[in-house]
Structure formats: C-alpha cells, structure tokens
Chains A and B, each alone.
Chain A
Amino acid sequence: MPALPLDEAGKYVAAAYVVFVVLLVVYIGIMAAKLSRISREIEEIAELAEQRRAEEQEPEPEEVRS
C-alpha cells in the first residue's frame, strides 16, 4: 500500500498514542483505588489499636460498698 497522506495517517498515529495513554490511565486508576483501600484499612486498624490502648489504660471501676 502507498504511504497514507499526513492528515489520514495522523489520525491513526494519534489513535495509537491515545490508546497507550488510556491504558496507562486506567491502570493508574485501578492502582489508586487499591491504594485508597489500603489507606482506609490502615486508618481502621490505627483506630482499633488506639481503642484497645485506651481500654487497657482505663482504671478498674471501684466497687460500691453497700
């Protein structure tokens, strides 16, 4: 086939490079979602650890004498 004119070839070249960028953006989006899940889990575990420490430090309730 003879070489395509620039205006027609340009569309194909742009399409190829756009596909690459889209693929990259989709991958980064998926990884961002994973990282945000990890971040959420870390927050939950940190909260849990703090809660547990607070429970351990809490003084025993005094017995009420009758």
Chain B
Amino acid sequence: MYGKGLKPLSIATVVAFAVGFSLVFFYAPLDADQGFIQKIFYLHVPLASTALIGFVVGGIFAILHLRTDNNKWDAYSYVAIHISVIFGVGVLITGAIWAKASWGHWWVWDEPTLVSFLIVFLLYCTYYPLRYAIEDRDRQARYASVFAITAGAFVPLNFMAVRAAESLVHPRTFGTVEGGMPGDMWLTFLVCFAGIALLWVTLVSFELTAKRTSGQLSRLRRALDDGGHGGGPGVARRIAPSGAGSR
C-alpha cells in the first residue's frame, strides 16, 4: 500500500519540530560570542548536514540502481537529490541571513565553507537538465545514476577539504580547541537535527508515494487503452492531460 508509514512519520516530524524549536527559544543558552543571532545555527546547520547527507544517500541509491537495474532505486535517488536541493536553497538563504547579521555581508567569497556548499549546490542543480535532456528512460536513469554516484562521492571529499582549509572565519562549533558547545546546546542541536532529518525522510516518502501513484495511474490508463474498443488512440488517452504520468 502506497504511503504506508507516512502518517506516523509526519507526526514524529511535527513532534520533533515542536520540541526542537521550544528548546531553541526557551532552553538553549544565549551564545556568549554571537548572542541571540546564534539561534539561526539550530536551523541552518541541521539543514546543511541533512542536505549533504541526502546527496550521499542519493548516490547510494544510484549504486543500488546500477547494480540491480531496478528503476525503483533510480526514483529513490532522484527524489533524495530533489529534496536535498530544496534543503540546499534553505541552507543558502538562512546562511546568507546569518552572514549578514554576523559579518555584515550577505556572502563572503573567500570563506571555503560557503563557497564549497555553493559549488555542491550548483553541481546538483545541473542534475535536472542532465536528466531531462535524455529522452530514453533507461539511458536517462543510467546517466543520472552515474552523475549521482560521482557527485555523491564529491560531497564528503569536499567536506574534508574544507575542514583541512585553514580559514577560521566560519564558526567551528564542533570539536574546537576551546571545547566546543556546552551540553544544553548540543541537546538542542541534536533534537533540531532529528527534526530536520525526519522532515527529509517524510518529504522523500511523500514525493515517492505521489510518484508511484502517478505511475500506477499511467499503467491503468494504458491498460484501459489496450482494452479499448476498436482502433484509434483509445478513450483514456483522449481524456488524459498532456504530460501526465511522466517523470
């Protein structure tokens, strides 16, 4: 049954968000350095982490697609990347707002963390034209999978390269020599991260359900067409809206 588990997932997401945002504004202490503006961290960093992990997960699904030749994994890969790109938009906007408030500029070009995320984001933006430039569905799926694997491998490499960079303009919250975040900030962060990760899983599940339903509808329409009376285009095709059922 399609959409199975979507309801408990949605409820878990809403609960995690409610708890997480309550902790952000009523429990987590104010940052000694940045003050209230640091509250953006609890949204921006989980969004960025989830988007990057999502890109890697998209690559793993793509590997499964190439290994098994099952188009289900291609759909999983596509949806994982799609939702991660949407999260990426959120990362860039919330990051720009945080940068303006903290550094006085919307964007800082000599900051490796920002520029590397932008490169990853733009790389994944090219996934769509690449995918839809190919008409044959099997070739489309294979090429998209190769892209997803290559780009997915680039994400952790890129992350490590940025970590190795010497710039300390971007705040390093985890594992700094000063001891990193206090426990209550960690707890708040983890709950917010869980909420955003759950949101990602819910949206992926939601989109996959919609895609499967749409695909089944196309199958049903084709079956009705095949069982149609006589020749001609078939009644179902005549009533079908153009482009329906396409990916």
A and B bound? Answer: yes
**A-side interface residues toward B, CB under 8 Å?**
1, 3-6, 8-10, 12-13, 15-17, 19-20, 23-24, 27, 31, 34-35, 37-38, 41-42, 44-45, 48-49, 52, 55
User: What class of interface size applies to chain B in its complex with A?
Assistant: 35 or more
Find out whether the CB atom of A12 lies under 8 angstroms from the CB atom of B37.
yes
Find out whether the CB atom of B36 lies under 8 angstroms from the CB atom of A20.
no
Q: How far is the CA of A8 from the CA of B94 in the complex (A)?
A: 16
Q: Which of A4, A15, A20 contacts B90 (CB 8 A)?
A: A20
Contacts of B207 in A (CB 8 A): 31
Q: Does B176 contact A (CB under 8 A)?
A: no
Find out whether the CB atom of A38 lies under 8 angstroms from the CB atom of B214.
yes
Q: How far is the CA of A52 from the CA of B36 in the complex (A)?
A: 65
Find out whether the CB atom of B236 lies under 8 angstroms from the CB atom of A45.
yes
Find out whether the CB atom of B93 lies under 8 angstroms from the CB atom of A19.
yes
5 other A-B residue contacts (CB within 8 Å) besides A1-B103, A45-B220, A52-B227: A9-B37, A12-B37, A16-B98, A24-B199, A27-B203
Closest residue of chain A to B210, judged by CB?
A: A34
Q: Which of A10, A23, A38, A48 contacts B239 (CB 8 A)?
A: A48
The SS class assigned to the A binding surface is: helix
Q: Does B217 contact A (CB under 8 A)?
A: yes
Find out whether the CB atom of A45 lies under 8 angstroms from the CB atom of B217.
yes
Q: Which of B21, B35, B43, B241 contacts A41 (CB 8 A)?
A: B241
Q: How far is the CA of A5 from the CA of B101 in the complex (A)?
A: 11
Closest residue of chain B to A39, judged by CB?
A: B213
Interface centre among A8, A9, A13, A24 (most CB of B within 10 A): A13
Closest residue of chain A to B239, judged by CB?
A: A44
Q: How far is the CA of A2 from the CA of B90 in the complex (A)?
A: 26
Find out whether the CB atom of B97 lies under 8 angstroms from the CB atom of A3.
no
Contact code string B87-106 (vs A, CB < 8 Å = 1, else 0): 00110011001101111100
Q: How far is the CA of A4 from the CA of B98 in the complex (A)?
A: 11
Q: Does B68 contact A (CB under 8 A)?
A: no
A42: min CB distance to chain B, Å: 7
A11: min CB distance to chain B, Å: 9
Contacts of A24 in B (CB 8 A): 199
Contact code string B207-239 (vs A, CB < 8 Å = 1, else 0): 100100110010011001001010000011001
Closest residue of chain B to A24, judged by CB?
A: B199
Tell whether A48 pairs with B35 under 8 Å between CB atoms, given A16-B98, A27-B86: no
Find out whether the CB atom of A23 lies under 8 angstroms from the CB atom of B90.
yes
Interface centre among A13, A15, A16, A20 (most CB of B within 10 A): A16
